[in-house]
């Protein structure tokens, strides 16, 4: 039976160095990336569209400025950006009005990506915000409306599919952190994977000053890039019977 593995690089647009690193990783095993609509530049978008990489939306409410003018002040930080601490607290989203604000913001982000010329094929989010219990139904609704796949975790695969949304059989999150980004560890994760369509979440990038301001995950990105762009990895993955894929297939 054919088994597909999707190496999805998160955070395209987080900084020019991250975007450049993702495009470099696409010369290796990365066949998919998700774009941060509120941070990506027109130039970065142009380069990505020409690359042939499968593109999704990296919905965010934890870094940068909202695109919706109506995003509540109470959920913003001191400079008008997203308040990460509040955004990642599920209790924040028990309020109907706040959930409606998130839906408006995510719709604005999807509009922005369309304006940049992207043909999207899947959704996920920065810091897995869309997987918070009160917010997952919003993400499912947006994916269903647009015919997009959705990243989720094993416990939610069946409910998401019952809602009419495609999602991989398994999300591998273990390729993360400086002690976990070696080639041997990555291949071991694939060897243990159960499913016919598997996504590997990854974060390749090149370090620049803007990345250091926006993320605590810095040097690890270059370590990931070294492995993901190594021709030996592509060979090893294929020898194990995997077909390298993006979500677009």
Range in 37-41, 120-124, 209-213, 245-249 the model is least confident about: 245-249
In this structure, which topology does domain 3-245 adopt according to CATH? Answer: TIM Barrel (3.20.20)
19 pLDDT above the threshold of 70: yes
Mean pLDDT of the chain: 96
Cβ atoms of residues 21 and 43 within 8 Å: no
Residue range 209-234: average pLDDT? 97
Distances (CA, A) of 199 to 72, 144, 149, 170: 34, 19, 12, 6
Q: Which pLDDT value is given to residue 1? A: 61
- Give φ, ψ of 237 to 5 degrees: -65, -45
> What average pLDDT score do residues 143-161 get?
97
pLDDT category at 78 given cuts 50, 70, 90 is confident
- Residues 154 and 2: their CA atoms lie apart, in Å, by 20
pLDDT (tens digit, 9 = 90+) per residue, 121-143? 999 999 999 999 999 999 999 99
Of the candidates 172, 171, 178, the residue with the CA atom closest to the CA atom of residue 222: 178
Specify the pLDDT at position 2.
81
Range of weakest confidence among 59-63, 133-137, 182-186, 245-249: 245-249
The model's pTM: 0.96
Q: Is-contact 195 168, C-beta < 8 A?
A: yes
How many C-beta neighbours within 10 Å does residue 102 have? 26
85: buried, middle or exposed (CB in 10 Å: 19+, 13-18, 0-12)? Answer: exposed
Cα 249 from Cα 233, distance rounded (Å): 21
Phi, psi of 12 (to 5 degrees): -60, 125
Quick one: pLDDT at residue 204? 98
pLDDT, position 248: 80
Q: Mean pLDDT across the stretch 14-29?
A: 98
Is the four-CA dihedral 163, 168, 174, 177 of positive or negative sign?
negative
Under the banding of pLDDT at 50, 70 and 90, the label for residue 118 is very high
How many other CB atoms sit within 10 Å of the CB of residue 46?
Answer: 12
Averaged pLDDT, 60-75: 96
């Amino acid at each position: 039976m054919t088994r597909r593995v999707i190496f999805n690089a998160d955070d395209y647009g987080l900084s020019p160095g991250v975007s450049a690193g993702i495009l470099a990783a696409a010369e290796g095993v990365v066949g998919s990336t998700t774009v941060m609509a509120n941070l990506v530049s027109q130039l970065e978008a142009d380069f990505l569209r020409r690359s042939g990489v499968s593109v999704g939306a990296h919905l965010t409410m934890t870094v940068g400025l909202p695109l919706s003018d109506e995003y509540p002040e109470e959920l913003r930080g001191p400079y008008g950006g997203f308040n990460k601490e509040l955004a990642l607290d599920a209790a924040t989203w028990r309020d109907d009005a706040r959930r409606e604000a998130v839906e408006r913001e995510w719709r604005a982000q999807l509009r922005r990506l369309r304006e940049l010329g992207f043909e999207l094929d899947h959704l996920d989010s920065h810091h897995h915000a869309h997987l918070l219990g009160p917010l997952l139904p919003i993400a499912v609704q947006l994916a269903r409306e647009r015919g997009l796949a959705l990243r989720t975790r094993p416990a939610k695969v069946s409910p998401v599919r019952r809602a009419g949304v495609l999602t991989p059989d398994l999300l591998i999150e273990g390729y993360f952190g400086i002690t976990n980004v070696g080639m041997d560890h990555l291949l071991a994760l694939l060897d243990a994977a159960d499913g016919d369509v598997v996504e590997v979440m990854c974060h390749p990038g090149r370090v620049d000053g803007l990345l250091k301001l926006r993320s605590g995950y810095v040097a690890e990105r270059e370590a990931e890039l070294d492995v993901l762009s190594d021709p030996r990895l592509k060979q090893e993955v294929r020898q194990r019977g995997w077909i390298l894929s993006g979500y677009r297939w």
